[in-house]
Amino acid sequence: MKLGLRLKLFALLVGLVVLSFAVADAYLTRALEREKIDAIRDDLFVRAALVADVAARSPSVLDDRKNWDEVADRLGKAADARVTIVASDGTVLGDSELTPENLASLENHGTRPEIVEAQQHGRGSSVRLSATLDQRMMYVAVAIGDATPHPVVRLATPLRDVDDAVAKLRQLIWIASLAALGLAIVASSIAAQTTTRDVRSLTATARKMAAGDLDARARSTASDELGQLARALDGLATSLSTTLNDLRDERDLQRAILDGMSEGVLVLDGEGRVVMMNVALRGMLLVGSDVKGKLLVEAVRHSELHDFAKRAREERGRLTTELDLPGLQPRRLLVKTTPIADEGEDVLAVFVDVTDLRRLESLRRDFVANVSHELRTPVTAVRSAAETLRSALLEDPARAGRFVDIIDRNAQRLHALIEDLLELSRLESNQFKLKKENVDILATARLVASLFRERAETKKVKLVVKSERSPLTLRTDQRGLEQVLTNLVDNAIKYCPEGSAITIAASEDSGSVHVAVSDDGPGIDRKHLPRLFERFYRVDAGRSRDVGGTGLGLSIVKHLAEAMGGEVAVESIVGSGSKFVLTLPRQREA
């Protein structure tokens, strides 16, 4: 609980009053008690000396307790105090307050401090609670005669007068304390009210400023310290308002610039916590807007990024790297870091999405390499055949036909390659225009199968078309569907050995139609499946060229499927065959 200024002043004054009177109480009561006890002790010593002198002249025998008890009774009345006569061995011979019969039950008094002191030094005294009378008593003892060890006469008197005097003094002190406390309360209230009025005004003004109202002013005209504080506070508010306006404008400008950037910007502190992350980077890393203050390892699950950020903080240099971000849409980011200041470990990192750039570079390299490779083989064959044909026409006209066939076959291969390249270019540039119509899937499959029937029979491959129901109608592009099935069936016949079976099957569910081309051929290793639809990608490059493939058929299939709003997938097990499935969305029939 926090104490206000008024309460502190009140507590201070009250505390001083209470402390003053507590000290006065402790000092005065102790002084009064000490003075009273000293006076009583001196008086008792005088009376004890007289009693000891009378007892020394008493003719009583020490063993005669009855006589000594009578002496004690007589002397107690004369001394107006309790008189106890103690033998040198500590045995009580007489006591003015007890009968002779009770003396025998008293314990030995030889260990009493005043008795011990009197036997050693001639007299002694002590103040303690009497076990016999159960009250605080003053005891003084004086040795009797000159015999050694000394018998002792002891006088005792209660200290009721001392206790009463101390209690009365304490009562007067506390009455005065209460009166002074009342005056202190009144005085502290007046002083606190006067002192805290301006303080409360300054506090209210400061709270308004802290709450954001920088137009609030104390406007004090006082010349004391509080007035100077008020004017300093007004000046501070004016300066702070100007500075905050400038900072707010600069912050808004920076935020607009950062949020408008397509590059990602990240600022990390020395502990690896996120100080700032702009909208573009949050979109790249797929994180929310609540990442500020979190450790980078908590906000982003990417070990390479964490290691790179740690190295950037430690080396305090300008570093560059590229990171791959996995996910549904894998991205590749170029990251550049730089220290923000010469001191400290804060790091600024800029992220540039180079996914499309790297993909285009890779496509360009692959395309140039693959096209060059694909064109080199037939061109070389044509040139060789042409040179040989030139000499064969004169020397061996019968062999010339074989070289003409070679030239024709490779010319057809070049033509197919060029046609596939042109078709793929049209698909990638969105020049392929769909002509949607009601298409009978089974009729289209049978038509494609009829085109390959003779070729399949020649290779002793069984080609079958089947469906769950007939007819199965779908609104899509007839030409695109025929080309997809043509490429898939052509591939199956090329790579299946003799005696294999190829099946074209069609099925449907609630929202899609599935057309599958499956075979029981050699199958495809699963490591090749993710790249199977890339241009010029071949599982077995040598065998593909032997059977006359261009390496573009499956890429065309993928682009045609996507152009028709569907997708194509492949399932394959080595030794058990392959299955290519075209899935097209069902649309309203015309």
Of the options 3.60.15.10, 3.30.450.20, 3.20.20.70, 3.30.70.380, the CATH number for the domain spanning 261-353 = 3.30.450.20
According to the model, what pLDDT value does residue 58 have?
Answer: 67
Average pLDDT value for residue range 287-303? 81
DSSP-based three-state secondary structure for 589: coil
Residue 79 in contact with residue 86, Cβ under 8 Å?
no
- Cα–Cα dist 333/563, whole Å: 29
What does the pLDDT read at residue 381?
Answer: 65
Cβ–Cβ under 8 Å, residues 546 and 414: no
Mean pLDDT score across all residues of the chain: 77
Q: Does domain 5-164 have CATH number 3.30.450.20?
A: yes
Share of the chain above pLDDT 90, in %: 0
pLDDT score at 589: 47
Q: Which residues pair with 82 in a beta bridge?
A: 156
**Confidence class of residue 366 from pLDDT cuts 50, 70 and 90?**
low
Section 380-385 average pLDDT: 66
Confidence at 1, pLDDT banded by 50, 70, 90: very low
Q: Which CATH architecture has domain 358-428?
A: Orthogonal Bundle (1.10)
Measured CA distances, 155 to 109, 111, 123, 243, 457 (Å)? 13, 16, 11, 90, 148
Domain 5-164 and domain 261-353, same fold? Reply is yes
pLDDT value for 343: 56
pLDDT band of residue 399 (cuts 50, 70, 90) is low
Cα–Cα distances (Å) from 389 to 7, 15, 378, 381, 400, in that order, read 119, 127, 16, 12, 6
- Model confidence at 445, pLDDT cuts 50, 70, 90, reads confident
Residue 352, Cα to own-chain centre: how many angstroms?
A: 29
H helix runs in 57-143, sequence order? 65-79, 100-103, 113-121
Q: Which whole number is the average pLDDT over 298-324?
A: 82
Q: How confident is the model at residue 390 (pLDDT cuts 50, 70, 90)?
A: low
- pLDDT at position 239 is 84
Which structure tokens are listed for 127? 């103040």
Distance separating alpha carbons of residues 391 and 402, to the nearest angstrom: 13
- Is pLDDT larger for residue 581 or for residue 70? 581
Q: Is residue 498 predicted with pLDDT exceeding 80?
A: yes
pLDDT in tens, 100-117: 777 777 788 878 888 888
pLDDT of residue 124: 85
Residue-level pLDDT at 510? 79
Residue 117 in contact with residue 124, Cβ under 8 Å? yes
Q: What pLDDT does 540 receive?
A: 62
> What's the rounded Cα separation, in Å, for the pair 187 and 181?
10
Q: Which CATH class is domain 436-585?
A: alpha beta
pLDDT higher than threshold 50 for residue 61: no
219: pLDDT strictly greater than 80: no
d(CA 154, CA 83): 6
CA atoms within 13 A on the CB side of 163: 10
Q: Is 551 left (phi over 0), alpha (psi -120 to 50) or beta?
A: left
Ordered by start, the domain boundaries in the chain are: 5-164, 261-353, 358-428, 436-585
Q: Is the pLDDT of residue 400 over 70?
A: no
Which whole number is the average pLDDT over 145-171?
Answer: 75
pLDDT at 470 exceeding the cut of 80: no
pLDDT in tens, 27-58: 777 877 788 878 878 888 888 787 877 777 76
The 10s digit of each residue's pLDDT in 231-252 is: 787 788 788 888 888 888 888 8
> Residue 254 to residues 259, 280, 351: CA-CA distances in angstroms?
8, 14, 17
Is the pLDDT at 140 greater than 50? The verdict is yes
Q: What is the pLDDT of residue 131?
A: 67
Chain centroid offset of residue 29 CA: 63
Residue 397 neighbours by CB distance under 10 Å: 9
Q: Which percentage of the chain shows pLDDT scores above 70?
A: 77
Q: CA-to-CA distance for 370 and 552, rounded, in angstroms?
A: 10
- Please report which residue ranges of 286-349 form alpha helices under DSSP H: 296-299, 303-315
The pLDDT value given to residue 5: 59
**Does the pLDDT at position 142 exceed 80?**
yes
Question: Rounded mean pLDDT of 151-157?
Answer: 83
Q: List, for residues 370-379, the tens digit of each pLDDT value.
A: 666 566 666 6
What pLDDT was estimated at residue 6? 62
**pLDDT at 524 > cutoff 80:** yes
Q: Which has the minimum average pLDDT: 158-172, 316-330, 392-406? A: 392-406
